Structure formats: C-alpha cells, structure tokens
Structure 1
Amino acid sequence: MDLPEFDRALLHAVEVLRGGGAVVVTNPSPLTYGVVARDARAVNLLRGRPVDQPVAISVHSEAAHDQLFHYLDLPTDVLATIDFALAERISVLAPIRSDPTMPEWLAPAIKDGWVLFFDGYWGPMAYLWESHPFLYGSSANRTSEAPVTSAAEARAQFPADTMIIDADDRRTPAAAYGARTIIRVAPDGGLTLHRPGIQDQAAGGPEVLLDRLREFTSALAVLDGSISTPLGKTYLSTAVVEDGVPKQLAPNTRIRLGFARVPNKNADGPRVYDVVRADVGCNSLGTSVAAGELLTDGRLSIPGLGGTQVGCLPPLREQEDWLKTFLTSKPSWRLNGDELALASGGTTITLLDRKIAEPDFPLDGIRWKVVTTITNADLRHHRYHAEQAWISFDGGHLTGWSGCNEHSGVVTRNNTELTFSQVAIPDRACAAETAEVEAAILATLGPAVAYTIDHNQLTLLAPSGIGLDLKAAKPVAYA
C-alpha cells in the first residue's frame, strides 16, 4: 500500500539529511520555517552564507541534551530554567567550558566560548527528529530575504531542488509569525534578551518573558532547597536490608534507578518534568511529575509507576511488585557523595552512582560481540541464527570476525566519532543471516561513525543510519 504523501516526504527528508544535505522544515505556529542538516555547512550553503559561519544546534534527543548540559559553564540551579525555555521553543545562548573531552559535534554551534542551541522537535514530524540525535539549524530564509512563513514562500525563495516539508495543514494559523526568541544566560545564571522574537512578543514584551523564566527559577529553588539531588544520574543497588536482615535479590539482578529533569515536548502539562526510571530485571518502569515535586521534603514522591508489559517469571514478577510498592511508599532519600540511600518501613536500599559501580569499558583491548544490527538509525534487528561476529580495536587498527570471514582495517578517532579505512575482508560468501550481519558490518565501517559506550555496551552508527549494537565479551560480575 502506498504511503501518504506527507509520510513519503518525511522519508525523503531523512534520506537527504543522511546524505549530507539540508532540509526546510515546518515549525509549529507561530514560528517561521527552519533549515536543518546533519552538516552545519549545508545549513549555511542553503541560506547563502559562508560555510564556516556558526549555527545553532537542536539538542532534541536525551543523549545530546545531557552531553551539552554537562559542558555548560553554569550553576546547576539554572539548568531547569533552560529546559523551561527549550520547552517554550526559545533558543538559548549560554557559556560553555573549554574541555578536550567535549563532543566534536558541538563545535559548529560555539563562538567565543558561547553555544547557541534549541529543541526543534515537533510531534507531527517526529520521525525526522527521532532519526537524528542532534541537528544543526537556522531560520529558513536566504540572506537578505524575509523569514519563510509557509511552504509556498519556501518554494518561491529556495532553489527548485530544495527538500521542503510542507506541514502547513498540521499547524494552527497565527495572526503573526516570527523567529525564535534567543535568551542569553550569563555565567552567574542571569538572564537577558539576546534577540527578540515571537515568544517575547506573544508574552507581552521581553521583560515579561524574562520575569516568567526568573520566577520559574525561584519557584524551583524553594522546592529543591539548597541540597544536592540525584537528578541527572543513574544508580545501581549495592545492598538491600529489611528489618535489619540483608535481602537477596534474584540472581544476576540489581535495582537500577535513574533520575532526570527534562522539558515537556507537549503543549499541555508542566513545562518541565522530573523523571524517575526503574528496573530490577524485567520491565522498564517510570513516571514523571512537575519539576521540583519528585524529591520534596527529603522524600521520593511517586504517584504511580507505568512501564513495559513483559511477562516476568514468578521470582522476577514478585521482585518487581516489591520494588513498586517500596518506591510508591514515599521513601526518604539521602545522598552522601556518590551513594544514595532510600528507606521506608524498615527497608533500606543503598545504591551507588552507575559510573562508579559500572565504569565504562575502554574501546581498545575488548572483543566486542555483535548483538543486533541497526537500520534507519533506531530499528534493531536480532539475527538469532547468525554465527557470532565481533570487532576489536587496538589503537589505529581494527580486527574482527563477521561469522565466516576475518576482517581488518585502519581506524582514526576523536571523542565521538570513528573513521574506518582500508577495510579488508576475503571474498567468501556467508550463509543466511550471517551474510546479513557481515553486510551490516561492512556498511557500518566507513567515515564519521558515531560511537557511544555505556558500561559494557558499544553502539556504532554510520551517517546512513546503518549500525551495530555490540557487547563486551568479558563477563560482568554482579555485586
């Protein structure tokens, strides 16, 4: 069955982005259209500007958002205010620390120690945004031309071969359109207007908008207090005690709790949420509440937990029910350095920062086994009948086994990307699913491959959207 025209346009747009091109995208009312690309130079080329001119970056994925926030040179109590601004579709100019571990992809959005960023995600075009962890962007207009307020204006202003996503019928008509307001956040957390835009106009003026943001900061300060919180970190259990007696969890399981503060991408509800995620060996559980209301008065206030619906074996199901009951009982919490303690009704759970409890494996010297292949940047495929494939790194060299062929190559790296070259593999056919794994490996091992390591898991993702999930062959011992 043929896809609707809009869905076909989204698919085409994603292919254009993966090919290094720029796309003109519709924004929700009352914003004007925008230009986005995976390569900052493509944004400037389409707009008729110098290719090396700094651009803004959309940090619409959780991973990109968290990486950027890690390097912002700001007090922690102002970060939620920035999330509030992002949820209001305001752009932010903020100071950023000079750090050799900073991701290379941030560089095009940085000028003189300041980074310009926004959250471009819009529900009707979720497929486009979710296909890329970050995108460079700017307003959609050629140099000296007026900002674009409709698809017809975009077609009139840009070259005929420009990819334009027409979603005018998916946004509410507005009396006036305009570009995003840009706020400037000083190193001490002070807020000023950097560039006027449609948000401050709609608010009744720049000072009205800024006062609203400042009031949000003050309100959170009252709720959060002056003590440190576990927000932004994940913790793993090291001990559970019930009525003074150690409680043994099911074999090869431990409690994992993650805390985050995130902007609300929907029009309704609080503009910023505090989120908790939990699992103890079966389902992924979680909930969200208005920012500042999760960790109030020294207690963890969870109204309920939703999650996946995997059928657990009885020991895991009972353990999960026990954890749900505990977490929803408003346990007290106490943070002591990297250690978090929760207590309720005679039960105490002690947890340790995941980065300490399970430090990330190094890239080199590990045999990384292929677990799944990836297509379209986020679709995972398990090849249950394939022979086990693996990859290993040793400085500038790559070796591996596809399941039926050895392979080798040269690799260069920065802190976020790998570039493979001179990849050699015998011309010997593999059988069935093993051939599919080998094809995925060869398609992944090229230039500008993004890589991330999360404890013992490595993800490689090529610009084409093809990639691999791998796991360290070294066994992991549970505490």
Structure 2
Amino acid sequence: MSELDLPGFDRAQLHAVDVLRGGGAVVVTNPSPMTYGVVARDARAVNLLRGRTVDQPVGISVHSAAAHDQLFRYLDLRTDTLATVDFALAERISVLAPIRSDPTMPEWLAPAIKDGWVLFFDGSWGPLVLLWESFPFLYGSSANRTSEAPAASATEARAQFPTDTVIIDADHLRTPAAAYGASTVIRVDPDGRLTLHRSGIQDQVAGGPDVLLDRLREFRSAIAVLDGSTSTPLGKAYLSTAVTEDGEPKQLVPKTRIRLEFARVPNKNQDGPRVYDVVRAHVGCNSMGTAAAAGELLADGSLWIDGIGGTQVGCQPPLRDQEEWLKTFLTSQPSWQVNGDELTLTSGGTTITLLDRKIAEPEFPLDGIRWEVVTTITNADLRQYHHHAEQAWISFDGGRLTGWSGCNELSGAVTRNNTELNFSEVAITDRACTAETAAMQAAILATLGPAVTYTIDYNQLTLLTPSGIGIDLTAG
C-alpha cells in the first residue's frame, strides 16, 4: 500500500513524523478529556510554537522503554515511589521529580530539568502509534499560545497557531467530555511525599486533588508491602554464571547463556493493572517474557509466573530443548535471592546463579574498537542487511574518525557528549563500488552528520540521526 492509499489520519501522522525529524514542532491529539499538546524533538521548537523564549524548560515524554529506563535510573526516589510514578504515568498524570546530578546523565534530559527537578509525562496514545513509535522521546507541553487556554479541539488549535502548523486532527476519535483540561502535575519528593504541583483534568475528574493523591499514596503503600525491605532484581539484567542440578554442574548448549531482565513499566492500555512487573528471558534462540501486576511477580521471595510467551523462531533441537527446560524452571515458582550483584534462583534440585550483566559483560568503549557495520536503518527502526556488500567498518580515536565503506576509505572529525556524536569534515576516496556496497556506503555517509544519537549495548553500537537514518555495528 502506498502512502496515498493510507487513511487521511495515518497520512497526517506520517507528515507529522517528517516535520519532527526536520526539527519542527507539531500539535498532537490526546485522549479525552485532555487537551491537545505540542511536541518536538528539539525543545526550542516547542517554545517557539507556543510563543515562549526558547530556553524555557519543557516536559519530556518517556513513551519508549529505553527512555523510561534511562530516566528512572537517575531519579532520586525509592523503589515503591518509582512504582507510584509509573502509576501516575499510566493515568497520564505529569510528574515533577528530583533527579540526581550525575555526569553520565544523557544530555537529552537537560531541557526538562530545572533546579534539580525533572518534568516528564507519557504522551503516547494508541491511535497515534505511527508517530510515537518513531521516536524514543519527545519534548512537549500543552497546546496553547502564551496567555491563551490549552486547545480542547483541533478547531481551537487552528485558531491559536499559525496556519502552516501541522495539527493531527483526531476529534473524531475522542469521547466528548463535559470539561477538558491539561494534565495534572504531581510533585514527588525524595522521601516519597506526594503533593499537587499544578491542578489539571485528572484531579478534577477524580473528585479533587486529595482524592487523586490518596489513591496514589495507597498504591505506594501497597507496593512497599509487596516489595518488602530486601533488594530486588527489578531494573536490572542478569547473565548466568553457573547452573547446577542435584549438586552437579549442568552444561548449557555451547556459546549460550541464560539472560534474565526485570523491569517495572506503566500499563499503556485501559484494561489491567496500572503498573506491570515484567521478566524477559533468553537462552540462545527465542525471546520469552511475561508480566504481572506490580509487586506480584517477585512476591514472598518467589518468582510467580503462570505462563510465558515469546517469539516463534524455529530452533535446532538442542536449543529448543534448552528453551523448554528454562520455561519449565521459570514457571515452577523458583525462589530468588539478590546478594550484591548476584541473583540466585532455586527450584527443586536446580539452582541458577546469575551476575548483573553490567559486571558480567561491561560495555565496550567507543574508542579503539573496529566497529563493523551489520545493518543499515531507515525510519528509526527498519533494519536491512546487505548480504552481498563488502564488510564496512568505522573506528574512533578521540576526535578522529577512520573507516572503510566496503570500497572506500573514510575519515573525519567527531565531537561527543554522553549521548550524541557530531561528525564533520567527513571525506571519502572515490573508488567505484558494487551496487549493494554503494547502497551501504550511502547509508553510512548519510549517518555521519550532526546530532547523531549513539548507544552501546555491550558489543553493539547503534548510530541514529534525527531523520531516522542510521547503522548498527558490532565490535570486530
């Protein structure tokens, strides 16, 4: 299906995605009874569209799992309070929370921070999935010009903003409400105290701020009881270091390890608990996982899993059998214990010992590694292998870049911060390439520009431009 064949609403989303990738701001729909919002990849664009000075703090949407995990890593809050924040996000309440000063903090959080406090929300809404899933995070604010009320409809938004403003009109998907309003903002103190920072539609619908805050406080208290006072594996990934059965070592399939990841996330759907605890598992073939209401997955020192789903990749018999063995173990309600960086799971005569993945597999440094290109990226998440292309690679040495495109030598300059690279003076030799190598070379060159987000996951490096073009690389 071509873009012209798509429904008008989907075409509007695709156009909005293009505008956002180009550095502009757009007006997006929220579910009733919330007002419309302004979002952008550049915080300055949000302020400009709203008629404010460009350096004013804005909120940041943490709609992706990666952005959520990075943000929560730096919040100065206890585990039960973090769960309460997730509850608030699931209710589309905005949160003002204390954030630790840390030199490793990603720079993209800076526009949402003022005086040690960060303002964030979860803006994603199902009908706008094309837009939200194209970006790991977006800056945002209510859709109104300075001194005017937030827009409650596309018509009101058009009356406030310039005629060329991109506005995703989804009034037909919203439920008419007696009143509309911007999001309530709660303040969460380091000691867990919850207060109203700014009244909004959520506290009005709930029957007042006291009713809303009491509901959040009750949830926090319940989570504190379920979590107990011991350390939990939530928020961490682990790799197996030993497996024993009846006191004897059990050998896994060569070159495989058990990987378990635990997370706590808000529920974006209307049904079900407002916050989930999630476990994800991998042992060489399929990715598996399950979720339970917050506090129930790891209750009473046991792992409570009724069933576990996953991908359906066909595995070779040894890997398939190993995967079924792990499923059986994980669903047998094994006991768990965290001791420092080590996690131990025990059921019957089987014990699995795991180590915090950051200790077991420290991330490779950016410099001094031959990073080999694995796939090229378009539209932020569409990966393509170039099976018939020659191997390409790049390497970093401080402020210098060198590399090989598969048929030509690369060089250039690079500056960096914690999350971004800025490439300049990129030069390349002029040898002819085969068609597929030329396509890969073009993708590499398109990636090596300004404001390139980089992430390292053990031995995997991803470079992604604001336009959604990028490359995946692995340490050679």
CA-CA distance at 1:69 after TM superposition: 1.0
Is 2:237–2:262's contact at 8 Å kept on the other side of the alignment? yes
From 319, 327, 339, the equivalent of 2:342 is: 339
Paired residue for 2:175?
Answer: 172
Paired residue for 2:288?
Answer: 285
Distance across 2 between alignment mates of 1:450 and 1:278 = 27
From 158, 162, 166, the equivalent of 1:163 is: 166
Aligned-partner residue type, residue 175 of structure 1: A
CA-CA distance at 1:147 after TM superposition: 1.1
Distance across 1 between alignment mates of 2:58 and 2:110 = 10
Is 2:364–2:458's contact at 8 Å kept on the other side of the alignment? yes
CA-CA distance at 1:76 after TM superposition: 2.6
Paired residue for 2:31?
Answer: 28
Aligned-partner residue type, residue 453 of structure 2: A
CA-CA distance at 1:7 after TM superposition: 1.1
From 142, 145, 154, the equivalent of 1:142 is: 145
CA-CA distance at 1:427 after TM superposition: 2.5
Paired residue for 2:356?
Answer: 353
Cα-to-partner distance string for 1:86-118 (whole Å, 9 max, x where unaligned): 000000001111111111111111111111000
Matched, 1:317 2:320: yes
Summarize the alignment of residues 393-472 of structure 1 with structure 2, pairs less than 5 Å apart. Answer: 393-472=396-475
From 201, 204, 212, the equivalent of 2:204 is: 201
From 36, 46, 50, the equivalent of 1:47 is: 50
Matched, 1:270 2:273: yes
Aligned-partner residue type, residue 105 of structure 1: W
Aligned-partner residue type, residue 444 of structure 1: T
Q: Please give the secondary structure, in 1, of the residue aligned with 2:213.
A: helix
Aligned-partner residue type, residue 418 of structure 1: L
Is 2:185–2:197's contact at 8 Å kept on the other side of the alignment? yes
Distance across 2 between alignment mates of 1:138 and 1:444 = 30
Q: 4+ residue stretches of structure 1 with deviation over 4 A?
A: none
Summarize the alignment of residues 5-24 of structure 1 with structure 2, pairs less than 5 Å apart. Answer: 5-24=8-27
CA-CA distance at 1:445 after TM superposition: 0.2
Q: Please give the secondary structure, in 2, of the residue aligned with 1:155.
A: helix
Paired residue for 2:118?
Answer: 115
CA-CA distance at 1:247 after TM superposition: 0.5
Q: Please give the secondary structure, in 1, of the residue aligned with 2:205.
A: helix
From 208, 225, 231, the equivalent of 2:228 is: 225
CA-CA distance at 1:77 after TM superposition: 2.3
CA-CA distance at 1:362 after TM superposition: 0.2
Aligned-partner residue type, residue 242 of structure 1: E
Distance across 1 between alignment mates of 2:295 and 2:190 = 23
CA-CA distance at 1:150 after TM superposition: 0.8
Distance across 2 between alignment mates of 1:418 and 1:334 = 40
Distance across 2 between alignment mates of 1:235 and 1:304 = 21
CA-CA distance at 1:286 after TM superposition: 0.2
Paired residue for 1:362?
Answer: 365
Matched, 1:86 2:84: no
Matched, 1:185 2:218: no
Paired residue for 1:297?
Answer: 300
Aligned-partner residue type, residue 181 of structure 2: G
Paired residue for 1:254?
Answer: 257
Is 2:80–2:221's contact at 8 Å kept on the other side of the alignment? no
Is 2:36–2:142's contact at 8 Å kept on the other side of the alignment? yes
Distance across 1 between alignment mates of 2:429 and 2:166 = 40
Distance across 2 between alignment mates of 1:170 and 1:409 = 49
Is 2:10–2:130's contact at 8 Å kept on the other side of the alignment? no
Aligned-partner residue type, residue 399 of structure 2: G
CA-CA distance at 1:75 after TM superposition: 2.1
From 55, 65, 68, the equivalent of 1:65 is: 68
Cα-to-partner distance string for 1:316-368 (whole Å, 9 max, x where unaligned): 00000000000000001111110001011100000000000000000000000
Aligned-partner residue type, residue 276 of structure 1: V
Distance across 2 between alignment mates of 1:146 and 1:295 = 45
Q: Return the TM-score normalized by structure 2.
A: 0.99
Q: Please give the secondary structure, in 2, of the residue aligned with 1:164.
A: coil
Distance across 1 between alignment mates of 2:203 and 2:417 = 40
Q: Return the TM-score normalized by structure 1.
A: 0.98
C-alpha RMSD over aligned residues: 0.7
Paired residue for 2:387?
Answer: 384
CA-CA distance at 1:428 after TM superposition: 2.6
Q: Please give the secondary structure, in 2, of the residue aligned with 1:6.
A: helix
Matched, 1:234 2:237: yes
Identity %: 83
Aligned-partner residue type, residue 239 of structure 1: A
Cα-to-partner distance string for 1:225-254 (whole Å, 9 max, x where unaligned): 111100000000000001111010001101
Distance across 2 between alignment mates of 1:200 and 1:215 = 16
Distance across 2 between alignment mates of 1:86 and 1:134 = 14
Q: Please give the secondary structure, in 2, of the residue aligned with 1:229.
A: coil
Structure 1 residues not aligned, in runs of 5+: 474-479
CA-CA distance at 1:188 after TM superposition: 1.0
Aligned-partner residue type, residue 163 of structure 2: A
Q: Please give the secondary structure, in 2, of the residue aligned with 1:429.
A: coil
CA-CA distance at 1:144 after TM superposition: 1.2
Structure 2 residues not aligned, in runs of 5+: none
Aligned-partner residue type, residue 397 of structure 2: D
Distance across 2 between alignment mates of 1:460 and 1:409 = 16
